[in-house]
Amino acid sequence: MRRCLPICSALLTALVGTLPASADPGFAILQLGVGARAAALGEATTALVDAQASASNPAAVGGGRSAALSHTEWIGDVRHEHAVTTWGSHDSDAFAADVLLSHAGDLERRLGPTSQPLGEFGVYEWTAGASWSRPLSRRLRAGVSARYARQSIDTESASGAAVDLGLHYGTGPWWLGVAARNLGRMSNLDREATDLPLQLRLGGAVVRGPLLLSTDLHWTRDVTTSVHLGTEFRVRPRLVLRGGYQSGDGRDASLGLGVFTGDWRVDYAYLPFGDGLGQAHRVSLVWARDPVR
C-alpha cells in the first residue's frame, strides 16, 4: 500500500494539470459506459476486473483471454455498439483492444422555425483503442489506455486522441481502483473543438460468498459529481441478478441479470430514465477463458 500512495499522487497531479480554466464536456460516447453488467451495476465498476474493464479502468484489465460484444438501445433512437478482446496473464502483462461506436440517424436539418425540414443528417462518434496493464507488486497493477476518437455531425467532422490512466489494488475478496479518463483533445468541429469529458473515478468492491458489492465516486468536468452503487447476487451457478443506483444523469435505478453456460455469458441491463424520457436496454455477449470475477 505504501508503494500505491506516490503513484496515486502522480496520477492526480497529471489529471489536474490537464484542466483548462473553462470548458464544456462533449463526446457523449465516452460518458455512457459499454457493458450490460456495468450498466446494471450503476457503472460502479472502477474496481472490478472483467472482460470490459478497459472502459472504466485500464489497470483492471486482467489475465486470461476474453471477448465481448455489446449493443445498447438508448433513448432518442441512439444506438451504441462495443467490441473488445483481452489477452495476457494474471501475473504479468495483460492487454485489450476495443472499438466503440455511437450513431443517431434521420435527424431533421433546419436553419430556422420552418414547417418542413431541409433534409436529414446523422451524428456519429467512434473510438478505437488499446490498453495495457502490468503488476507493480503482488496486489497492485497499473494500466494505460490510448485511443483515437472521431465524430461526425452532418458534413462536419473532427478527430483527436485520448489517454486513460489507472491503478488497481487487491486480489480478492476486496479490490480498490482509481482511474483518470479521457485525457486528450479533439480538433475543431465547425471552428470549435469539442472538449472531452475528463473524468476521475474512485471505486471499491467486495465479495462475500454469492454476493458482490461495489461503489464508485465519479467526478466529470463541468458535470455534477455522482455516486454509484452496485450489487450482484448469484442465485444459481448459472444465474446472477444485478441492481444498481447512480445519482444524477437523469436516471437512478438499474436492473439486470447474467446467464452463464461454459465459457459464455449473456448479460442484460434495463435502464429507466426520469422525466418521461423512457428507458434504455443493453445486452452483452461475453466469452471468457480463465476469468477473474
Annotate 217-238 with three-state secondary structure: EEEECCEEEEEEEEEEEEEECC
| Cis? peptide before 20, omega within 30° of 0 | no
pLDDT along the chain (293 residues), means of 10: 42 39 61 92 95 95 92 86 93 94 72 63 87 95 96 83 96 94 87 86 97 96 90 96 89 93 96 82 92 55
Residue 171 has what pLDDT? Answer: 84
Q: Which domains does the chain have, with CATH numbers?
A: 4-105+119-286 (2.40.160.60)
Listing DSSP states for the chain in one string gives -TTHHHHHHHHHHHHHHT--SS--B--GGGGS---HHHHHTTT--TT--STTGGGT-GGG--SSEEEEEEEEE-GGG-EEEEEEEEEE-SSS-EEEEEEEEEEEEEEEE-SSS-SS-SEEEEEEEEEEEEEEEEESSSSEEEEEEEEEEEEEETTEEEEEEEEEEEEEE-SSSEEEEEEEEEEEEE-EETTEEPBP--EEEEEEEEEETTEEEEEEEEEETTEEEEEEEEEEEEEETTEEEEEEEESSTT--EEEEEEEEETTEEEEEEEEEETTTTEEEEEEEEEEEES---
Cα 137 to Cα 102: distance, rounded to the nearest angstrom: 37
Residue 22 has what pLDDT? Answer: 36
pTM: 0.85
Q: Report the DSSP beta bridge partners of residue 178.
A: 167, 202
Alpha carbon of residue 119 to chain centroid:
34
